[in-house]
Structure 1
Amino acid sequence: MKTSRSYLSTKASQLKPSGIRRFFDLASTMDNVISLGVGEPDFVTPWNVIEASYHSLEQGYTAYTANAGILELRQLIADYLFQSFQVKYKAEEDIIVTVGASQALDLALRAIIDPGDEVIVVEPCFVAYAPTVTLAGGVPVPLETLPENEFKLQPEQIEALVTEKTKALLICSPNNPTGTVLQKEDLNKIAEVVNRHDLIVLSDEIYGELTYDEPYTSFASIRGMKERTLLLSGFSKAFAMTGWRLGYVAGPTELIQAMLKIHQYTIMCASTMAQHGAIEALKNGRQSILEMKKSYQQRRNFVVNSFNEIGLECHRPGGAFYVFPSIKHTGLTSEAFAEQLLQEEKVAVVPGSVFGKGGEGHIRCSYATSLKQLNEAMKRIKRFIERL
């Protein structure tokens, strides 16, 4: 039956596809491509974690878990957050195990946002942030950090954007795509503004284990901020468990319990076998993290030095596994640069513009690949720059 009616919601019809995936999909159709695009560890999940998951199946753990996740896992998460970042949560009430940190963000926004509420989103940022705010009924308000500050959020920038409708601030440290880490002194200044304007902070700390130069500080550990913070994290990055889709959120009991209601109706619980793998990861996985971190740090140093030698200015990121070099002097937009580089030299990078307006003039390159591949990629990029 023909009809002129559109069955798509306005939100769905206006939602743009992921800019990261567009380049990844294009690269997958070509041969001999070195991909520095998708942010995923090149390490395989540690074998003891895989084995624990197998063992759980053999033992018959194939049913649903508690909605909030296996209690033992939540207790281990609580212990981990206290031992690593000195933030104390109650396993029974303050933590939910989620399907990746992305679901944790979605739950958080749906639990706190009423239609029209504004969320300040610090850019450049992960491509899902603003769309997820919109899907929750909120209004994303971009805050553009600047390369001259190494993309660090400045408290006066928050002050300039706060209105009577502002409800939350969404931050990510270490940052995707810039790798910038907010140190304790930075967080203290941000906390003053947050407290003054009575804001909730959504703190994406998925890369918190992957810092290289200074110890990591969780925003929730800042004085007075635990009661205002929803800490979003997971196992994907540090434990090389991206495909397991397992994350968690920790925060004030009232907010967590509201999120749990939404979680009960939409997901019920995270994968049982993945949760058993995560239990093993937290019990016996710290050595694997240290070994991966050592390799990432070596790669970071190589890539940063290489870009600066080529003439693409690149600050040294303190965490995650991304660099964000400037391509402004080439005269190309970030999208044109990425497309030409892919076509001419078969190196896939992500244009900075997909991470927000402040990302234009930059490209994101993941160094979560082997040094051999990185070395060849830098040779190809150098050839491309020389032709330009």
Structure 2
Amino acid sequence: MHAPTLPPSRLPQVGTTIFTVMSALAQQHGAINLGQGFPDFECDPALIDAVNAAMRRGANQYPPMAGLPELRQAVAAKMQSLYGHAYDWQHEITITAGATQAILTAVLSVVQPGDEVIVLEPCYDSYVPNILLAGGIPVYVPLTSPSFSPDVDAIQRAVTKRTRAIIINSPHNPSGRVWTAEQMRSLQALLDGTDILVISDEVYEHMVYDGALHQSAARFEGLAARSIVVSSFGKTFHVTGWKVGYVAAPAALMHEFRKVHQFNVFTVNTPMQAGLAAYLQDPQPYLALSAFYQRKRDRFRAGLA
């Protein structure tokens, strides 16, 4: 029997993600896996109880496509409290199947074939394949060692008439670099008067140390007006296997995002959403996360000294 000839690969230069390879090697050799962004400790039992309670009361069918209203309301309240921007939970917040799906959906919703997307490298490994799947062209701006600090002048030099978007990530994976308020304002000034959009990957928003503040794109009016802000409950509450995240964006951008989202995953796990909505009523778990990780960081650094 003749096997069919496969069509050309959509991603001919892309192999298995490095995280799959590294995690398999760590398991094979009994090594501590410091390469992938998941914790090695359990989440709060209260969150498990909240999800279990949602299951038992019957929250097991499809939720609304954009997410449960109570969770979207909780996300909007959290973002306004932390960053001062009032998102309309009905039209500007969407619950996603983790941040990776959110980023892919964001790219597919705004990037047309031939559009350029600025990527600051090194970067999370899904960014470039996402751009390629949309038919876009990645334009690389290097972040140089040892500071890995974003160079807004270099970003400006990368802008052309075909630039559609820039993907930023703070705190940065893999370097840990945190954008300052001054750098965010410089980016805001650079983009003012253009149609360039921002996809702001903020999954590590609660992992900033030594009194620093996370400078969300939502803090800056000019950036918030052009940004798709992505975050993740998995990173915040130590439940990466649940794959639940969220996106905040102006209504016009969110309208396009949801067009793609509905035909990508349509919607997200109902009892997880219900449990997270209840758990978010207390801000202390996420407000305490920076101090929690800073103690671990300081202990690790002391051990290396």
The TM-score normalised by the length of structure 1 is: 0.75
Of 159, 180, 184 in structure 2, the residue corresponding to residue 187 of structure 1 is 184
Q: Tell me, what secondary structure is at the counterpart of 1:230?
A: strand
Counterpart CA distance in 2 for 1:223 and 1:94 is 15
Counterpart CA distance in 2 for 1:223 and 1:23 is 40
Q: Tell me, what secondary structure is at the counterpart of 1:110?
A: helix
Of 206, 209, 219 in structure 1, the residue corresponding to residue 206 of structure 2 is 209
Q: Tell me, what secondary structure is at the counterpart of 2:237?
A: coil
Deviation at 1:244, TM superposition (A): 1.0
| Rg (Cα) greater in structure | 1
Could you list the per-position Cα deviations for residues 316-350 of structure 1 after superposition, in whole angstroms to 9, with x for gaps in the alignment? xxxxxxxxxxxxxxxxxxxxxxxxxxxxxxxxxxx
Could you list the per-position Cα deviations for residues 98-136 of structure 1 after superposition, in whole angstroms to 9, with x for gaps in the alignment? 000111111111110110111101111111111111112
Identical columns (%): 33
Is 1:17 equivalent to 2:16 in the alignment? yes
Counterpart CA distance in 2 for 1:3 and 1:120 is 40
Query: Which residue identity lines up with residue 166 of structure 1 in the other structure?
Result: T
Aligned to 2:41: 43
Q: Tell me, what secondary structure is at the counterpart of 1:224?
A: helix
Q: Is the 8 A contact 1:154 1:190 kept in 2?
A: no
Aligned to 1:136: 134
Aligned to 1:78: 76
Counterpart CA distance in 2 for 1:267 and 1:20 is 22
Structure-2 change in CA distance of 1:122 and 1:242 (3 Å): same
Aligned to 2:295: 298
Counterpart CA distance in 2 for 1:274 and 1:12 is 33
Could you list the per-position Cα deviations for residues 59-117 of structure 1 after superposition, in whole angstroms to 9, with x for gaps in the alignment? 01111000000011101110000001111110110111000011111111111011011
Query: Which residue identity lines up with residue 162 of structure 2 in the other structure?
Result: K
Is 1:152 equivalent to 2:149 in the alignment? yes
The TM-score normalised by the length of structure 2 is: 0.94
Q: Where do residues 224-373 of structure 1 align in structure 2 (5 Å cutoff)?
A: 224-284=222-282, 286-304=283-301, 309=305
Query: Which residue identity lines up with residue 230 of structure 2 in the other structure?
Result: L
Counterpart CA distance in 2 for 1:76 and 1:228 is 22
Deviation at 1:201, TM superposition (A): 0.5
Deviation at 1:266, TM superposition (A): 2.2
Deviation at 1:172, TM superposition (A): 0.4
Deviation at 1:39, TM superposition (A): 1.3
Q: Tell me, what secondary structure is at the counterpart of 1:119?
A: strand
Q: Tell me, what secondary structure is at the counterpart of 1:28?
A: helix
Of 110, 113, 123 in structure 1, the residue corresponding to residue 111 of structure 2 is 113
Could you list the per-position Cα deviations for residues 242-263 of structure 1 after superposition, in whole angstroms to 9, with x for gaps in the alignment? 1111001110111111111222
Query: Which residue identity lines up with residue 296 of structure 1 in the other structure?
Result: Y
Deviation at 1:14, TM superposition (A): 3.3
Counterpart CA distance in 2 for 1:123 and 1:305 is 29
Structure-2 change in CA distance of 1:51 and 1:303 (3 Å): same
Of 84, 87, 90 in structure 1, the residue corresponding to residue 85 of structure 2 is 87
Q: Tell me, what secondary structure is at the counterpart of 1:203?
A: strand
Q: Tell me, what secondary structure is at the counterpart of 1:142?
A: strand
Q: Is the 8 A contact 2:54 2:271 kept in 1?
A: yes
Of 208, 216, 220 in structure 2, the residue corresponding to residue 218 of structure 1 is 216
Deviation at 1:36, TM superposition (A): 1.7
**Uncovered stretches (5+) of structure 2, i.e. residues with no partner:** none
Query: Which residue identity lines up with residue 9 of structure 2 in the other structure?
Result: T
Counterpart CA distance in 1 for 2:250 and 2:285 is 31
Alignment size in residue pairs: 304
Q: Is the 8 A contact 2:119 2:141 kept in 1?
A: yes
Counterpart CA distance in 2 for 1:80 and 1:181 is 20
Aligned to 1:377: none
Counterpart CA distance in 2 for 1:108 and 1:36 is 28
Q: Is the 8 A contact 1:69 1:270 kept in 2?
A: yes
Q: Is the 8 A contact 1:109 1:133 kept in 2?
A: yes
